[in-house]
Amino acid sequence: MAAAAVAMLTSPLLAGAEVSPAEAQGMPNCDITCGNMSVPYPFGMGLARCYWPGFNLTCNRTSNPPRLLLGDGTLQVQELSISNGSTFVSVTHMGDIEVDSNGEGKLGGGLMTNGPFTISYNQLILVGCNVQATLKNGNVTMSGCSSVCKNGDGLAQARSTLEAGMQCSGNGCCQSDIVFNPEVAGMLSNNTSYDVQLKWFGWNRSADQASPAHVFVTSYDWFSSTAIFHELLRTDAPESADAIQVPIWLRWEVVGHGAECSNVCKSKHSNCIKGKRGYTCSCKHGYQGNPYITDGCKDIDECKEGGYTKCYGDCINLNGSYHCRCPPETHGDPTIPGGCPSPVPDKQYCCNLICSYYRDESK
Ligand SMILES: *[C@@H]1O[C@H](CO)[C@@H](O)[C@H](O)[C@H]1NC(C)=O
Ligand SMILES: *[C@@H]1O[C@H](CO)[C@@H](O)[C@H](O)[C@H]1NC(C)=O
Ligand SMILES: *[C@@H]1O[C@H](CO)[C@@H](O)[C@H](O)[C@H]1NC(C)=O
Ligand SMILES: *[C@@H]1O[C@H](CO)[C@@H](O)[C@H](O)[C@H]1NC(C)=O
Ligand SMILES: *[C@@H]1O[C@H](CO)[C@@H](O)[C@H](O)[C@H]1NC(C)=O
Ligand SMILES: *[C@@H]1O[C@H](CO)[C@@H](O)[C@H](O)[C@H]1NC(C)=O
Ligand SMILES: *[C@@H]1O[C@H](CO)[C@@H](O)[C@H](O)[C@H]1NC(C)=O
Ligand SMILES: *[C@@H]1O[C@H](CO)[C@@H](O)[C@H](O)[C@H]1NC(C)=O
Ligand SMILES: *[C@@H]1O[C@H](CO)[C@@H](O)[C@H](O)[C@H]1NC(C)=O
């Protein structure tokens, strides 16, 4: 069940990913574009009335192309869609998570306390020798794994594991899903910052740290399916992890500040979904647009927009649906080509019967 859920979620952004600028809608008089990205409410930029608390983004327009940033600017937004009730935002983090000399680091990049985002549906990846990584939110451990190197073999085992197309198994690198179990959900603090702790357990720590340990939070399959590990695990001058763009999915819900269905899903024709921490919305079947703003869900004109319907007869758009019927005085199945045959042959046939009947009578 859990595995199936994870498999289903491996590409939550793919299907509804494209945001057409026309579709994105924000609060009145709010800037909703940053380069070629659009920023639909509850996300927003600038003035506080332009976003739901915690959903503020910034646009760095001095960089080329402009960059849409989250939190303190360490997370860059790559994809943002609210269509079809999508509740993921795809971001990139530059490099691995920095840890201090005690092995302690933080992920969260200025995400607001009591904020909307969680990092479930990602993985913890650790590259290093005789080291353990733990990811915690407050007191709750969300993920952890350990990586061992046999004497002297450094990261060679990790390299051969990954080159064979296998996943990090604990030899030189390890990986572990970040879990948001229902039983811990209630215990999580509202703090969307996460603590990372590295602990070395080998007998010769200086040998183990000869090649630096790297810890990442990243979307599924990023590490094993890219050439990144080749660079990181090179024995000669490995690439600095700082230069690597690490993809992360953030899942969001509208939380806090009196959030409830009636003030979150403001549009008529919207559905409200109660999540683990807050609420999300989608437009009802037959409508599309932004369910988070008044009148944001617009009727889909199924008759005009291809792909919604196969109607070969007369198509009549209705609010939330459509009606497909055979043209007047024809009958049949209007959903197949040629499904509404012209009635003319029937009439002639009928006429012929009657005429021959009269001819017979007149004999
Ligand atoms: C989202 O909606 C559009 C238009 O209604 C549809 O083409 C697309 O397949 C939908 N995507 C998902 C993931 O349901
Ligand atoms: C925006 O432009 C970048 C390249 O500059 C491209 O990779 C990306 O797909 C574009 N995004 C959208 C939503 O068009
Ligand atoms: C915006 O981007 C430019 C170029 O990447 C960078 O020099 C500048 O510091 C950024 N500004 C902010 C406010 O982050
Ligand atoms: C978002 O707003 C909060 C306060 O509401 C502020 O602390 C934070 O810096 C803002 N973030 C961005 C990216 O503007
Ligand atoms: C963590 O656990 C300790 C001891 O059980 C407790 O006192 C503390 O309040 C907890 N902190 C959080 C943030 O839940
Ligand atoms: C988190 O915030 C919600 C409402 O904002 C509150 O009901 C809940 O008690 C908070 N949880 C913790 C652990 O602080
Ligand atoms: C949130 O968590 C981070 C990391 O654990 C911590 O540094 C910060 O003080 C916490 N903030 C609050 C308001 O609890
Ligand atoms: C620990 O490893 C370092 C580097 O490989 C080596 O120089 C040193 O002799 C080792 N220490 C012990 C006690 O074996
Ligand atoms: C659709 O709804 C609008 C406004 O709610 C209404 O003016 C219009 O008459 C409705 N159209 C149909 C075909 O029901």
Which listed ligand is nearest to 306 at the C-alpha? 1
Counting ligand 5 atoms within 8 A of each CB, the residue from 113, 114, 139 with the most, and so the one to mutate, is 139
The angle formed by the CA atoms of residues 184, 189 and 190, to the nearest 5 degrees, is 120
CB 56 less than 6 A from any atom of ligand 4: yes
CA of 135 to the centre of ligand 7 (A): 14
Compute the distance between CA of residue 324 and CA of residue 303 in angstroms, rounded to an integer: 9
Whole-number pLDDT of residue 14: 34
CATH number for the segment(s) 261-299: 2.10.25
DSSP conformation letters of 58-101: EEE-SSSS-EEEETTTTEEEEEE--GGG--EEEEEEESS--B-T
Residues 176-189: pLDDT tens digits?
998 776 566 666 65
| Residue spans in the chain of domains classed CATH 2.10.25 | 261-299
DSSP conformation letters of 267-320: STTEEEEE-SSSEEEEEPTTEEE-TTSTT-EEEP-TTTSTTS---SSEEEEETT
Tokens representing 127 are 């590259």
Compute the distance between CA of residue 180 and CA of residue 253 in angstroms, rounded to an integer: 14
User: What mean pLDDT value characterizes the chain?
Assistant: 79
Whole-number pLDDT of residue 269: 93
Nearest alpha carbon, ligand 1 atom 2:
84
Compute the distance between CA of residue 313 and CA of residue 13 in angstroms, rounded to an integer: 35
> What percent of the chain clears pLDDT 90, i.e. is strictly above it?
23
Which ligand 4 atom is at minimum distance from the Cα of 45? 14
Residue 243 confidence class, pLDDT cut points 50, 70, 90: confident
Residue 224 confidence class, pLDDT cut points 50, 70, 90: confident
CA of 240 to the centre of ligand 4 (A): 30
Name residue 146's beta-bridge partners: 132
Which listed ligand is nearest to 140 at the C-alpha? 5
Tokens representing 204 are 């010769």
Higher per-residue confidence, 11 vs 341: 341
247 closest CA partner among 8, 59, 55, 79: 79
pLDDT higher than threshold 90 for residue 163: no
Higher per-residue confidence, 166 vs 253: 253
Nearest alpha carbon, ligand 3 atom 14:
60
In terms of phi and psi (left: phi > 0; alpha: psi -120 to 50; beta: otherwise), the region of 222 is alpha
Residues 299-340: pLDDT tens digits?
888 888 766 678 888 888 888 888 888 888 888 888 888 888
Q: Measured between alpha carbons, how far is residue 298 from residues 140, 295, 339 in Å? A: 42, 7, 31
Look up residue 72 and give its amino acid. Answer: D
CB 262 less than 6 A from any atom of ligand 3: no
The SS3 of residue 169 is: strand
- Global pTM reads 0.76
The ligand 1 site (C-beta within 6 Å) comprises 15-16, 83-84, 288
Compute the distance between CA of residue 305 and CA of residue 294 in angstroms, rounded to an integer: 23
Average pLDDT over residues 242-264: 87
CB 191 less than 6 A from any atom of ligand 4: no
pLDDT higher than threshold 60 for residue 16: no
Please enumerate, as own/partner, the contacts of 16-21 that have beta carbons within 8 Å and a separation of 24 or more: 16/81, 16/83, 16/84, 16/86, 17/79, 17/81, 18/81, 19/79, 19/80, 19/81, 19/83
Which ligand 6 atom is at minimum distance from the Cα of 138? 13
CA of 187 to the centre of ligand 5 (A): 10
Compute the distance between CA of residue 120 and CA of residue 81 in angstroms, rounded to an integer: 18
87 closest CA partner among 296, 216, 247, 275: 275
Whole-number pLDDT of residue 345: 53
Residues 132-152: pLDDT tens digits?
999 988 778 889 999 998 766
CB 39 less than 6 A from any atom of ligand 4: no
Residue 70 confidence class, pLDDT cut points 50, 70, 90: confident
Compute the distance between CA of residue 200 and CA of residue 194 in angstroms, rounded to an integer: 20
Which listed ligand is nearest to 319 at the C-alpha? 9
Counting ligand 8 atoms within 8 A of each CB, the residue from 153, 206, 209, 211 with the most, and so the one to mutate, is 206
Which listed ligand is nearest to 321 at the C-alpha? 9
Residues 78-118: pLDDT tens digits?
988 888 778 888 988 888 888 998 899 988 766 666 678 88
Task: State residue 8 phi and psi, 5-degree precision.
Answer: -65, -30
Sheet containing 140-147: give its strands across.
Answer: 104-107, 194-200, 131-137, 140-147
CB 58 less than 6 A from any atom of ligand 4: yes
Burial 222-232 (b: 16+ CB within 10 A, else e): bbbeeebbeeb
Which listed ligand is nearest to 139 at the C-alpha? 5
